[in-house]
Chain A
Amino acid sequence: MNAIEVNQIRKVYNQRDVALNGISFTIKTGESIVILGHNGSGKSTLFRTLTGFEEPTEGSVKLLGRGVDAGKRNHLRETRKKVGMVFQAFGLVDNVSVFQNVLFGALGQVKFAPATYSLFASDALRERAMECLDRVGLAHLSERRADRLSGGQKQRIAIARMLMQDPEIILADEPIASLDPKAGREVMELLKGIAEERNITLLMILHQLPIAKKYADRFIALKNGEVFADGDVTVIDENFETALFGNAGPEEASSDETSQHIEQEAKSS
C-alpha cells in the first residue's frame, strides 16, 4: 500500500516564483526515504505542502489514502492524526514540563483539549506519555521544564510527543540541523529505530548525503523545484554529489559538523 502519494505538485508564489514544478512520487508503507537538495531546491516547500501548511497551486497529495487539503480544516485534522511531524526547531512549549509537552501530542485524539493537561489527563494517557518518554530515553526528565534541556534532548522530547499520536507516517524536516554531532546521531538512530520496529513510513528532509546513505533506503533528490533523481541510496557517489550540488556541492552539503561527523562514522563502519 502507498503511504504517501504526491501527484504533479506545483507551487508558485506571487504568480511567478516557482518553488515546486510538477513533483510526483509514491512511497510505500514502511519505506525510509530522504528528500535531498540544496537550500532553495524546494525541500521545505514540499514538506509544508505534504503537511497541509501550504496549499499547492496545482496537483494533489495523499497521506495514508486521504487527501491533504489545506482548505478543508476538519478533513486535514483527521489526516494529520496518524502523521507524526518532527521539526528542525522542535516546536516545544518552553515554559511547561517535558511531561506536559508529551501529553500535548494527544491533542488530536481528545474531545476536550484540557484533557491533555497533566492535572486532568486520564491515568491511561499519563502512562502512555511516560512510555513514549521512556522510548526516547528521557523518562527521568519528565518533570523538568522544556527550556532547561539541550537541543538533542528537546528533539527527543518532540519525538516522544509525536509518538503519542501512534503515527503511521513520520515526516521529519531537517531534524538534526540544529544539533551537535552526538545529539544528531542519537536523534537519527532513534527515528530510524522507531520506524523499523513499528513499520512506520519515514520521510526525512535533509541536505547531507552521508546521513541519507546511512539512515535511508531510498532518496528523492530535488533540484530547482523538480525531481532530479529518485532511487536507492547505494547509487549515491561523488559523481552524483557533483551533479546534484555542483562544484561547491560536497563541501556545502557536508558543511555542518553533524554531517561531517556522521560521514566519518559511515565511512569507518
Chain B
Amino acid sequence: MSPKPPKRFEKPSIWSFILILIVLAFLVTGINNANITFSRITGGIMNIGDFLAQAFPPDFSRFGPIMSAMIETFEMALVGTFAGVIISIPVALLSSKTTNSFSFLRSLTKGAVTVMRTVPDLVWALLFVIAVGLGPFAGILTITIDTIGFCARFFSERIDELDKKPKEALESTGSGYFGVITGSVLPQATPSFVGTSLFALEKSIRGATVLGLVGAGGIGVELSAQMSLRNFDQALMIIIIILILVLVVENISQRIRAKYI
C-alpha cells in the first residue's frame, strides 16, 4: 500500500483562528457601517452623471492662473524629490549593513526612515503647514520627507544586494571608507538609484496635486476651491491638466529608464 498523501487542509493554530475571526469581524462591521445600499449606488451614479453634465465642456477661461498653479505643483514635486533623493543617499549608506557596521546607528536610521514612510503625506503636510505656514514650502518639506521614506529604503536594499567583490578589490588597494563608497558602491548602485528616483518623482507629482487640499501649496488649492464652489467645468479643466502632467512625466521617466537602466 502506498503512503498516504498530505492532508488537503492544515488546521490553523488557535492564534491564526482568532486573527481570522478578528479580521472577519472588522470586514463585516466595515461593510455594515459604510451603509452600502442599492439606492445609494444608483444615486451615486446619477450624481456622477450630474457632475459630468455640468463639467462638460470644461471651462478654459482661467487657463493662465491654473497653469501657474500647476507649474508651482510641478516645481514643488521636483524640488522636494531632488532634496529627498540627495538626503536619501547618506541615509541609505547608514541603513545598509554593507556600508555601516554599527548596528545601533543602522537601527536608528532604519527606524527614522520607517517613520517617514509610514506616516501619510497629508499628515506630514498638516504638520509642516503648522510649522512653516501655508504655501509651497510646506509642500516641498512634505515631499522631501515622503521621498526619503521611499528612496532611502530602496537605496539601502540595493546597496545590501550589491556584488561585494569590487568593494573588496578596492579595499585591497589601501582605499579608505569613502574611496570604497565612491569607487564601488555608488557606481554599482547608480542605475538603480536613478530608476527609484524617477519613480519617486512620479509619485511626488501625484502626491503634490492633493497637498493643496490641506494648504500646502500647488494646484490642490484651486481644485478644492472649484469643487466647493461647484464650478465643475473649471474643476474638470484642472483634472485634465493634472492628468496630462502626470502622463507626460510618467512617459518621460519610462523612456529614460528604458534607455539607460
Which A residues fall within an 8 A CB radius of B? Answer: 51, 53, 77-81, 83-85, 87, 89-96, 100, 104-110, 113-114, 116-117, 158, 161-162, 164-165
Contact = CB atoms under 8 A, between A and B. Distances in A.
B175 A113 contact: yes
A77 B180 CA distance: 12
A91 B174 contact: no
B182 A85 contact: no
A51 B187 contact: no
Interface in B177-207: 178-184, 187-188, 190-191
B50 interface: no
Contacts of A91: 165-166, 168-170, 172
A61 B40 CA distance: 82
Contacts of B170: 91, 104, 107
Name the residue in B172, B176, B180, B188 with the highest tally of chain A Cβ atoms < 10 Å from its Cβ.
Answer: B172
B228 interface: no
B168 A158 contact: no
A80 B188 contact: no
Contact of B165 (A51, A90, A114, A161): A90
Contacts, number: 89
Given A93-B188, A113-B183, A78 B174 contact: yes
A105 B172 CA distance: 9
A90 B169 CA distance: 8
Nearest to B168: A91
Given A77-B176, A114-B182, A94 B168 contact: no
Nearest to A162: B173
B168 A80 contact: no
Contacts of A79: 174
Contacts of A51: 172
Interface of B: 163, 165-166, 168-176, 178-184, 187-188, 190-191
B165 A113 contact: no
Name B's interface SS: helix
Contact of B169 (A77, A106, A158): A158
7 contacts: A53-B171, A80-B171, A85-B169, A87-B165, A93-B166, A104-B173, A113-B179
Contacts of A94: 163, 166, 188
A188 B168 CA distance: 22
Contact of A107 (B165, B179, B190, B191): B179
Contacts of B166: 91-94
Contacts of B191: 95
A108 B172 CA distance: 9
Contacts of A78: 174
A89 B165 contact: yes
Contacts of B181: 113
Contacts of B187: 93, 95-96, 100
Given A94-B166, A104-B175, A107-B170, 17 more contacts: A51-B172, A81-B173, A85-B172, A89-B165, A90-B165, A91-B165, A91-B169, A92-B169, A93-B166, A93-B187, A106-B173, A107-B174, A108-B179, A113-B178, A113-B179, A114-B182, A165-B173
Contacts of B174: 77-81, 83, 107-109, 165
Contacts of B165: 87, 89-91
Contacts of A162: 173
A105 B168 contact: no
A116 B174 CA distance: 14
B192 to A, nearest CB: 10
Q: Which 3 A-B pairs have the closest CB atoms?
A: A91-B169, A108-B174, A107-B175
A77 B169 CA distance: 13
Given A95-B188, A96-B187, A108 B175 contact: yes
A230 B172 CA distance: 27
A203 to B, nearest CB: 14
Nearest to A165: B173
Nearest to B190: A95
A162 B173 CA distance: 7
Contacts of A90: 165, 169
A198 B117 CA distance: 56
Contacts of A100: 187
A89 B163 CA distance: 11
A117 B173 CA distance: 16
B183 A93 contact: yes
Given A113-B182, A113-B183, A87 B169 contact: yes
